[in-house]
Amino acid sequence: MAAEFKELPANAPTGEKVANWFENRFPSAFAGYKQHLSEYYAPKNFNFWYFFGSLALLVLVIQIVTGIFLVMNYKPDANLAFASVEYIMRDVPWGWLIRYMHSTGASAFFVVVYLHMYRGLIYGSYRKPRELVWVFGCAIFLALMAEAFMGYLLPWGQMSFWGAQVIVNLFAAVPFIGPDLALLIRGDFVVGDATLNRFFSFHVIAVPLILLGLVVAHILALHDVGSNNPDGIEIKGPNAPKDAQGHPLDGIPFHPYYSVHDLLGVGVFLMAFSAIIFFAPEFGGYFLEYNNFIPADPFKTPLHIAPVWYFTPFYSMLRAITTQMIYVLIAVAIIGALLGVAKAKVGAIGKIAILGATAVVIVLLLSIDAKFWGVVAMGGAVVIMFFLPWLDYSPVKSIRYRPNWHKLVYAVFVINFLILGYLGVQPPSPVGERVSQVGTLLYFGFFLLMPWWSRLGTPKPVPSRVTFKPH
């Protein structure tokens, strides 16, 4: 059944008539605009931490647009790829700018996503009813890592080639199917033209489609349950104060208030983004390694192979798992099992199950090569974030109202993550290995022990309404 057309008076303004013409013929678009912008009420106490969600969307658009122009001149061929990138940089009008926007945009994407995730961490944005929003966000992060890794190979420089060689060969450590899995990913027995073509197709078509779908799902899920705020107070619940029209008193329409508010963050971001592009596009070798300006040579291995900075915390965890570390993990498993048996409120069968599972884990740790467990640690460091909504047992959401020592726990977590990132770009050393092993235990301990430490201490009183000071 067709919807009824809305008629306007003959003397209505021309702009209103044009808008009405479109609304009569495309009502779902206008309904979506109202639902997600003009009539979507967000908490009125957002602070600067809430810039990074919109900035992530901005960088995604930058990456897509610049990627389209780069593909026009790039050749996904092992013999031509590096030369085509040089052609873009030297001969294509404004090609150097587009390439640097894309390479800097990759690092900028991870900067804003890491900060966006940290904001969700400190304010409890993953707690009920936003568990699915967090899960979609973690899936976006995982897809982003895959997209960045595949794009890293495309310039076909020394670090691209050898970095891909190292990472792809890690899959060979998977028991039974490892060699076949590595062969499937490479498309050949060595990283070569087949690998480049596979990664190009995934980087340009497959992963971006998945990424866009996840971004849409993330935003829709967020707008269905409503945004969190620095106080962790629900503004749209059944007991939340509302006006005569049913709108939350502690909320304001996203458009025009926050759409204009976010322009401040966009302006500051674009100034920093432009400064890096024009004055330090390599950023001291962290955004673009100097070895990647040398054509890929399968017969000349760089002295030190390391991934780009945004992968280095996880790369440190990969390198931290050695044979000695396996014995530490066995000791941790035994201690955990003993505590579980002593503290868990389960019967004899449950305690036997805990001890049996621990025995199986110990056998697996001893029987499978440490290289495989390094891959497990690297992947598990990302996967464990998916379970964060079910690991946090604190009675309050926001860090504002948790015990003060919780801030110290989060500070240690962040500093430890930064140290792991720094060690990941450094050549292996005995001291760095020990520090990364301790850092790996701290990283996983933060999550695995969260059901225990998140309940400790007395939280501060949570106000009934959001705290907001107009300015």
Residues annotated within a binding site for heme b: 102, 116, 203, 218
Query: Cα torsion at 259, 263, 264, 270 (round to 10°)?
Result: 150
**What residue type is assigned to position 461 of the chain?**
P
Please give the single-letter amino acid code of residue 315.
Y
Binding-site residues, in ranges, read 102, 116, 203, 218, 223
Q: Say how far apart CA 150 and CA 153 lie, in whole Å.
A: 6
CA distance 253 to 247: 9
Residue stretches of the annotated binding site for a ubiquinone:
223
From the list 235, 239, 228, the residue with the least C-alpha distance to 250 is 235
Rounded Cα–Cα distance for residues 401 and 14 (Å): 52
Measured on CA atoms in the order 155, 192, 371, 451, is the torsion positive or negative? positive
Q: Are 312 and 424 in contact (CB under 8 A)?
A: yes
Instruction: Judge whether 421 and 316 are in contact, CB under 8 Å.
Output: yes
Residue type, 224: D
CA-to-CA separations, 383 to 11, 72, 142, 465, in angstroms, rounded: 60, 36, 9, 35
